[in-house]
Amino acid sequence: MGSRRALVTGAAAGLAAGIAPAIARDGFAHVAITFRTTSPDETVAAIRAAGATASAHRIDFCGDGAAIAAALAAVVEKEGPFDTLVHAVGPIVVKRFARTTPQECREMIAGNLESAIFTARAVLPAMREARFGRLIFFGANGSAQTQPAVGLSLYGAAKSAVAAFARALALEEARFGITVNVIEPGDIRDKRITREDAHSIAAPNPRGRAGSFEDVADVVRFLLAPERDFITGAVIAVTGGLPTAEAKAPQ
């Protein structure tokens, strides 16, 4: 295996649980993941089965900022330096704004936007020194265009902020050989199914089938490759065509 080292946040569950082992097969020596409450053991075992070493670190990105920064610094010191960040963590609240609470607002901003800022701040110094780095952040359907959706006022606002942060970061870090891109996954309900299984499940998107973690992992792996140094500041939708209003209207 190669010498590359990746940090994947929120990889005990969701799409990242499949993405972390997928990138481990692409020349990574070590993949560290973060988790909050879900056991990370299954993901760690899958990463090791893919041929890389693995470690898991509990970080509550909705918690105290100083504690988050200290925890990330400890991970970087112990497991780094990292040349790759896949920031997939991001809590979601689906409620009309009138029913949301101040605490839920705080969690959306902290868990999505502030977590991206804290994590980038932790890994970027070593990337700048090495003059190489790959950062991928996860947005949401249409977040780069601030596409509205009923019930997603807080989540949508936070993810749009993540996209804005990442795209500005791409401009600032390009001179160091660091790329920064955003992936917008579609409405992928079952985040553990394979692409083969997804082909047999109907879904209300123009493609007509459900999405899978493998659909998203393919794009992540593409963007992480060393030769992808000319793609930065991009926002890539992996949605089956879902973001367009014209496509959504007939459903």
The radius of gyration computed from the CA coordinates of the chain, to the nearest angstrom, equals 17
- The pLDDT value recorded for residue 250 is 41
Please count the other Cβ atoms lying within 10 Å of the Cβ belonging to residue 16: 28
Nearby residues of 226 by Cβ (< 8 Å), 6 or more positions away: 132
Residue 170 in tokens: 């791409």
Q: Which helix (H) or strand (E) holds 155?
A: helix 153-173
- The pLDDT value recorded for residue 112 is 97
d(CA 67, CA 74): 11
Q: Which helix (H) or strand (E) holds 69?
A: helix 65-79
Q: For 120-130, what is the mean pLDDT?
A: 98
Please count the other Cβ atoms lying within 10 Å of the Cβ belonging to residue 93: 18
- The pLDDT value recorded for residue 249 is 40
Whole-prediction pTM: 0.93
Residue 248 pLDDT greater than 60, yes or no: no
Nearby residues of 250 by Cβ (< 8 Å), 6 or more positions away: none
Residue 222 in tokens: 């593409």
Percent pLDDT > 70 in the chain is 96
208: left (phi over 0), alpha (psi -120 to 50) or beta: left
Residue 61 in tokens: 């990105």
Give the residue numbers spanning the domain of 85. 4-248
Residue 84 in tokens: 């790759």
Q: For 102-111, what is the mean pLDDT?
A: 97
Distances in Å between the Cα of 52 and the Cα atoms of 3, 44, 99, 189 are: 10, 10, 45, 28
- The pLDDT value recorded for residue 247 is 42
Residue 120 pLDDT greater than 80, yes or no: yes
pLDDT digits (tens, 9 = 90+) for 186-214: 889 889 999 999 999 999 999 999 999 99
CA 222 and chain centroid, separation: 14
- The pLDDT value recorded for residue 242 is 86
Residue 72 in tokens: 């990330």
Give yes or no for a contact between 40 and 32, defined as CB atoms under 8 angstroms apart: no
Distances in Å between the Cα of 32 and the Cα atoms of 9, 40, 47, 106, 150 are: 8, 11, 9, 27, 35
pLDDT digits (tens, 9 = 90+) for 57-73: 999 999 999 999 999 99
CA 154 and chain centroid, separation: 18
What CATH code is carried by the domain that includes residue 184? 3.40.50.720
Q: For 102-108, what is the mean pLDDT?
A: 96
Q: For 171-195, what is the mean pLDDT?
A: 95
Residue 244 pLDDT greater than 70, yes or no: no
- The pLDDT value recorded for residue 246 is 46
Please count the other Cβ atoms lying within 10 Å of the Cβ belonging to residue 125: 12
Number of domains making up the chain: 1
Give the residues across from 138 on adjacent strands: 183
- The pLDDT value recorded for residue 108 is 97
d(CA 26, CA 187): 27
Residue 83 in tokens: 């040349």
